[in-house]
Structure 1
Amino acid sequence: MTRPPRKKNPTFGISVFIVVAILLVIATLFYNAIREKHEFDSQPTQVPPVASQAAAAATAMKPASGAAQ
């Protein structure tokens, strides 16, 4: 009435290891992306937008109001 011992399935352990490794890689990618975004957002912007440069150039080209013609 005794049952023979069950054999372990090595495929299950390997598949769990692969899934955990993939999840670890994905978590690392997300962590690095979020950290880099925070670093980028904390840096002050040094280059003004192109639209403001165009507006400044257009203002400089206009003659002063009441100028002699």
Structure 2
Amino acid sequence: MNDPRKKKNPTVGVAVFIVVVVLLVIATILYNAITEKREYERDNSVDTTVSAASAAGAAVNAAKGASQ
């Protein structure tokens, strides 16, 4: 009849809090890394395209010279 109440274990709450904080930190780091990678690729994509085009042009010119 007298049902003793269970005491809550505060360790479980602290463990859940720590896990949530660690997951948020990891998510923030990944988000920042992906965002900065996209910004870097956007800023440097013109240089890559130009160098690829010039390399392709040099290869075409070399092929023309070799065939003559």
In structure 1, C-alpha distance between the alignment counterparts of 2:13 and 2:47, rounded to whole Å: 50
- Residue by residue over 1:6-44, the C-alpha shift from the partner in whole angstroms, topping out at 9 and shown as x without a partner, is 101000000000000000000001100100011011013
Q: Does 1:45 align with 2:67?
A: no
* Structure 2: 5+ residue stretches without partners: 63-68
Q: Give the gaps of 5 or more residues in structure 1.
A: 60-69
Structure 1 moving runs of 4+ over 3 Å: 46-49
Larger Rg belongs to: 1
- Per the normalisation by structure 2, the TM-score is 0.65
More helix as a share of residues? 2
Q: CA RMSD in A?
A: 2.5
2:31 pairs with 1:31:
yes
Distance 1:2 1:32 in 2: 55
Percentage of pairs with the same residue = 54
The answer for the alignment partner of 1:63 in structure 2 is none
